[in-house]
Structure 1
Amino acid sequence: MAPLIIGVSAICIVLVLFSRPRSRQGLAPEGGSRLKNALALLLTRLGPKNPDDWRTPQNSDVRVPVPEGMDEKNYNDSWVFQGADAGGNAFLTRLGFRNAGREVELWFWGSHNGERYANDQRSILRETDPDPDGIRAGGLAYEKLGEGLWKITYEGSLNGSPGKAELLWEADAAMFFSPEHMDSLSTARAMAEMPWSRGYFEKMRRENAVRIEQGGLLSGTIEYAGKKITLNMKGIRDHSWGRRDWSSITRYMWTVFALDKPTEVAGITAKYMAISPVNYGDVFNRITTGWIAGDNKVIPVAYTTDMARVGNDGVIPEHYQLLFRSPAHKPVSINIHRRQPEMSWIVSDRKFEVNEAWCGLEVNGTKACGIAEFGYSADRGYFRPFESAKAEPG
C-alpha cells in the first residue's frame, strides 16, 4: 500500500508542478506552468542589483554613455516630454541618442484646435557626438534648471515654416524607476510564457534597459507660421537608457495620462498613470509595464488586456477598452477615446512606425487625458499604411 500511495502522491505533485494556474481575469501575462513560473521568478529576483552600475536612478537626469560590453549600434539614450489637456490638445517631444550619439531621433509635435504641427528634420546623422553630456540636437534642447524643473527650447522648422518654442516642465508626482517598481512576478510570468533555451537566455541578457517616468506640469509657448500657441498641460517626462533595437519589437502600446483630480486607484491617491503592454519578439511576447503615481508613492501596473484584442490587425481603433491590474488589487476597466490628428514617426530604416494621438478616458469616475501611442513593426508582419512622414538624415 505504501508504494502505491507514494506513487500516486508523486504523480499528483508532478501534475500540479507542470499544470498551468487558472487565469481569473484573462489579463496578460498569464505565465506558464507552476514550476516554470517559480523558476522564472527566482531568475528574475537574482537579476542585476548592483546599485553602483549604470542602472542607478542617479542617471535619470543625465546623458548615460554606452555601458561597457553593450552594442553601440543599438544603445539608446532617449528623452521624452509630453502633455495633454481636456480640450483635446496634445504635445510631445523626444530626443533619442543612438549609436553613441552619432544618430539622433528628433521629434517635436503637437495638436492644437484640431491642427497638427511637427518638425521637419526628424533624424540626424553625424560622425561624432559634439556634446556627449548635452541633451540637445537639431535646434531642440532640454536643460535641467533645478530638482524636478526642466526647460525645453526649440528653434527650427515646423510644418515647413520657421518655428520656436520655450517651455517649462515641473515635476508634480513621485518618479517611476523600472528596476525598483516593475512587478517581478509579472515579469516572471512573461518569461515563463516563452520557450526556454540557451539562446533565449542569451537574448534576454542582451535586452538590458532602464526607464524612469514622472508626472508633471507643462507650460509655455510655441510659435510658427504667424501663430502663437500657449500650453498649460499635465504630462510626463520619460528617460530610458540601454539597449533598444526597434527591429526586435513586434508591437507595443503606451497609454500615459493625467487624471483631472487626485483619485483613489489600487490603494493610492493617483495623479498620473501609464499602461504599456509590449510584444518584444523573441524575448517577451506579452510583458506589461506601467505604473500609478501619487505625490509620494508609485505602484506598478502588472497585468493588462492582451494586445491581441486591440489593434492587432494593424488598424488603430478610435475607441477601445483596457483592463489593468496592480498586484493584490482588482482589475480596473477604462474606455479610451483616441482622437485625430495623429502623428506617425518612421524609424529603423522605415521598418517601424510609432503612432501617437491625444486620448481621453475615465478612471474610477474621474476624467483623464493623455497620449495613446501604438508601435508596429513592418518586419514582423504589420504592413500598415505608414504615413509619408520620413526620417530624413540631417
Structure 2
Amino acid sequence: MLWQAAAAAAAAALLLLCRWIVAFSRRTPQRMFAVYTQPDASFYPKMAAFWLLLRLRRLWGSPGGGGEQAGYGPLAEAPQSLDAVLIQGADGAGAWLVAAMARRPHGVLNVIGIVSLPGVGTLLLPRHPDTTLFGGETAHAGGGFSFRRMEPMRRWKLDFTGQMRVSESGALVDVTLDLTYTSDLAHFDFDTDMAPLAVARAMAREPWSREFFARLRDAHQTHYEQIGTTEGTVTVDGRPHALRVTGMRDHSYARCRDWTRLHRYGLHTLIVEDGTRAQVGVVSQPYSFSRIELGYVYRPDGSLHALEWCDLELGYHGEQGAEPRDYGFSFGAGGRTYRVLVKVEESHTVFIGWRWEARVLERRCTYRVNGVAAHGVSEWYYRHRGGRPAEYAADDPAWARDIEK
C-alpha cells in the first residue's frame, strides 16, 4: 500500500510539473538582440525533464545515423535535400585546406575549394565567392573535384584538376591535388553522441509547443565528424608541393537543408601541440534552437568526450556582420575546462545558395588552449540577404531557372 501511495504522489507531482512547464512555455520569451532566447522561470524544470528523457533514450539504445555506409547515393525526393562532405585542415606553418561539396537535386553542387601553401599563396576556385556548380548526379564529383571513400571511417581520396586563382595576385594557375585523408580516431555522431545536458539546455531555452517539436523533426539532419590528417601533393603550374594538414572531415545528409533557417554559427577546429584535438562551436538556428552548444574533444590518448558547455556568445562577437578576429571563450568536456584564445590569421568568404542565403567565412586561426599553442580552421556563418549577383546567375544553365528551389 505504501508504494502505491508513493507512486500516486509522484504521478501527481509529475502532472503538476508538466502543467507548470506548459503554462510558462506559452509565454513570449525574452530574446537578446531579437534572436537569442533567454532562460525564464521554466528553464530549469524543462532542462531537467528533457535531460531525463535523453538519458532514458540513451539507456534504451537510440539508433545512430548508420555510420559511413548511410546517406550516399540517390537524394531524398525534396527540393532542398542534400548529401554533403567536407575535408579541412591546417598545419602550424601556414598551410591550410578547405574542400567541401554538397550534392543537391538535379545535379546541382555547392563547392568550396581553398588551399594555401607558404611561398605560393592561397589558391581559390575561380568562381568564388560563388559556390554553385553543376554535374554531381550520383557522386561527389564536379568542378574539377572528386571525393572518394576508400575505407569507411579510415581513408578518403581527394583529387582536383583545373585552374585556381591566387588570392594575393589574382593570377590563374593550373593546379592538381592528389591528397589522402586518414584517421584512426572514433567518429562523433551528433544524433547519438552529444552530451544530454548540452541538448537539454538548448531545448529548455525555447518555448515548447506542438509547432516547436514539429520544426525540430523537420530540421533534423544526420551529421557526423572525425578528426584526421590529409596529406599528399599539390602541383601548381607543374611544380609539386608537399601538403600535410590535420583537421576535420564531416558528412551530412538530410531531406532539407534550408540556409535561411540559420542566423549564425561559429565553429573552431583546435589542433593543440600537446596532442589534444577538438571541434567546438555554437549554432543559432532560430527555426529550432536559437542557441545550441556542440562539439567534442579527443584527449592525447585518443579518448573521445562530448562537449558539455561553451560560453561563446555569438551576440557579443560580430553580431552586426564584421567577423571577430581576436577573441576568446571557454568550454568543458570530459569534466575538464578548456580556455581558448583565438587569432584569425587569414579569412576568405564564400556564398551558398540560389540567392546567396549563406555567407560562410573560412578562416585559418592560431589559438592558445590553456596556454598551449594550437592551430586549425574555423568556419563562421552569417545569414545573407543581399541576393546573388546577376553576373553569376547568368552563367547557370537555362533549365536551372525553372527548378523548384
Please indicate the TM-score interval, normalised by the length of the shorter structure: 0.7 to 0.9
- Structure 1 residues 180 and 29, CA, compared in 2 at 3 Å: closer, same or farther? farther
The residue that corresponds to 1:194 in the other structure is 206
- Structure 1 residues 302 and 84, CA, compared in 2 at 3 Å: closer, same or farther? same
Map residues 222-301 of structure 1 onto 2, 5 A cutoff.
222-225=234-237, 227-242=239-254, 243-262=256-275, 270=276, 272-294=277-299, 296-301=302-307
| Number of residue equivalences | 351
1:120 to 97, 104, 126: 126
Report the CA distance between 1:64 and its aligned residue.
5.2
Tell me the TM-score normalized by structure 1.
0.79
- Structure 1 residues 135 and 53, CA, compared in 2 at 3 Å: closer, same or farther? farther
User: Is residue 372 of structure 2 the alignment partner of residue 366 of structure 1?
Assistant: yes
Residue identity in the other structure for 1:158: M
User: Is residue 49 of structure 2 the alignment partner of residue 36 of structure 1?
Assistant: no
- Structure 1 residues 111 and 368, CA, compared in 2 at 3 Å: closer, same or farther? same
The residue that corresponds to 1:204 in the other structure is 216
The residue that corresponds to 1:313 in the other structure is 320
Report the CA distance between 1:76 and its aligned residue.
2.0
> Could you tell me how far apart the structure 1 residues matched to 2:68 and 2:383 are?
33
The residue that corresponds to 1:79 in the other structure is 85
Report the CA distance between 1:146 and its aligned residue.
3.0
* Matched-pair contact (CA < 8 Å) for 2:198–2:307: no
The residue that corresponds to 1:184 in the other structure is 196
> Could you tell me how far apart the structure 1 residues matched to 2:287 and 2:371 are?
39
* Matched-pair contact (CA < 8 Å) for 2:366–2:373: yes
* Matched-pair contact (CA < 8 Å) for 2:358–2:384: yes
* Matched-pair contact (CA < 8 Å) for 2:64–2:192: no
Q: Which runs of 5+ in 1 are unaligned?
A: 1-9, 21-27, 263-269
The residue that corresponds to 1:267 in the other structure is none
* Matched-pair contact (CA < 8 Å) for 2:44–2:204: no
1:57 to 62, 67, 92: 67
Quick check: 218-227 or 239-248, which moved more? 218-227
* Matched-pair contact (CA < 8 Å) for 1:158–1:224: no
The residue that corresponds to 2:161 in the other structure is 155
* Matched-pair contact (CA < 8 Å) for 1:172–1:217: no
Quick check: 35-44 or 239-248, which moved more? 35-44
% identical aligned pairs: 22
- Structure 1 residues 52 and 362, CA, compared in 2 at 3 Å: closer, same or farther? closer
Quick check: 109-118 or 209-218, which moved more? 109-118
> Could you tell me how far apart the structure 2 residues matched to 1:112 and 1:317 are?
24
Report the CA distance between 1:151 and its aligned residue.
1.5
> Could you tell me how far apart the structure 2 residues matched to 1:161 and 1:224 are?
7
- Structure 1 residues 29 and 334, CA, compared in 2 at 3 Å: closer, same or farther? farther
* Matched-pair contact (CA < 8 Å) for 1:174–1:293: no
Report the CA distance between 1:203 and its aligned residue.
0.8
The residue that corresponds to 1:110 in the other structure is 115
SS of 1:189's equivalent in the other structure is: helix
- Structure 1 residues 389 and 138, CA, compared in 2 at 3 Å: closer, same or farther? same
> Could you tell me how far apart the structure 1 residues matched to 2:50 and 2:62 are?
25
Q: Deviations over 1:111-138 (max 9, x none)?
A: 2238321112432235xx54x2x33222
* Matched-pair contact (CA < 8 Å) for 2:185–2:226: yes
Report the CA distance between 1:86 and its aligned residue.
0.7
The residue that corresponds to 1:266 in the other structure is none
- Structure 1 residues 157 and 217, CA, compared in 2 at 3 Å: closer, same or farther? same
Q: Which runs of 5+ in 2 are unaligned?
A: 1-12, 26-36, 166-171, 398-405
Tell me the TM-score normalized by structure 2.
0.77
Residue identity in the other structure for 1:322: F
> Could you tell me how far apart the structure 2 residues matched to 1:390 and 1:83 are?
29
Alignment RMSD (CA, Å)? 3.4
> Could you tell me how far apart the structure 2 residues matched to 1:388 and 1:321 are?
39
The residue that corresponds to 1:345 in the other structure is 350
Quick check: 361-370 or 109-118, which moved more? 109-118
SS of 2:324's equivalent in the other structure is: coil
User: Is residue 337 of structure 2 the alignment partner of residue 325 of structure 1?
Assistant: no
User: Is residue 148 of structure 2 the alignment partner of residue 135 of structure 1?
Assistant: no
The residue that corresponds to 2:381 in the other structure is 375
- Structure 1 residues 47 and 119, CA, compared in 2 at 3 Å: closer, same or farther? farther
> Could you tell me how far apart the structure 2 residues matched to 1:389 and 1:93 are?
24
> Could you tell me how far apart the structure 2 residues matched to 1:389 and 1:92 are?
25
SS of 2:199's equivalent in the other structure is: helix
> Could you tell me how far apart the structure 1 residues matched to 2:345 and 2:265 are?
19
> Could you tell me how far apart the structure 2 residues matched to 1:171 and 1:237 are?
10
